[in-house]
Amino acid sequence: MVKIKICGITDLKEAKIINQFKPDYFGLVFASGSHLVDINNARKIRQEVDASIPAVGVFVNAKFALIKQLVDAKIIQIAQLHGRESAEDIKRIRTELKIPVIDVINEDKLHRNSDADYLMIDARTSRVTKNQLTQVDSNLFVAGGINPKNAQKAIDETNPFAIDVSRGVEVDGKKNIELIREIMGIVHNN
């Protein structure tokens, strides 16, 4: 079965939606943008969301100390790296913090594939195709503009481990119950 991550959770109302639909993962963004959360808000969201649903911390060139602080506080259980993090950075997170890493790859980062636990292709920022990757049959996340209307096509074309949605399940910048219900049905029927 294809898994799903609902990313960009920003408040307790959205945390309750996560509890209602029980996606496989949810994301907390610690990088600038409309979904940015601070540590205090992230802590409240993590406390609200069912402990069985792992929280993925989303980072762009973050300092190791920030990731460590969030792991030590039990706010995140997985790190998702969108920046220029090196293979050494990934290994340090995996070994010292003992959490899995999702590496968001692009044309410049193909050589790092074996260092992360999971890979992510973001269709909005990358032209990488699954055919360019090695050893991705069980660890590929696909993201970038996925919504209920195109989720099945994305799954059919990439056969991913998981899809990652954020804005595709929002109305006016907030997670929408009906869109989440619809996409959960599509994903979990695969």
Which uninterrupted H or E stretch holds 171? strand 170-171
Average model confidence (pLDDT) for the chain?
89
What separation in angstroms does the CA of 14 have from each of 19, 154, 166? Answer: 9, 25, 12
DSSP classification of residue 36: B
b/e per residue 5-33 (b: at least 16 CB within 10 A): bbbbbbeeebbebbeebebbbbbbbbeee
Return the percentage of the chain with pLDDT > 70, whole number: 87
Q: Is the pLDDT of residue 55 over 80?
A: yes
- Identify whether the C-beta of residue 26 lies closer than 8 Å to the C-beta of residue 184: no
Residue 29 domain boundaries: 3-188
Q: Give the tokens for residue 16.
A: 């309750």
Q: Is the pLDDT of residue 135 over 70?
A: no
pLDDT of residue 115: 80
Q: Is the pLDDT of residue 102 over 90?
A: yes
| Total count of domains within the chain | 1
CATH of the domain at 166: 3.20.20.70
Q: Which residues pair with 36 in a beta bridge?
A: 29
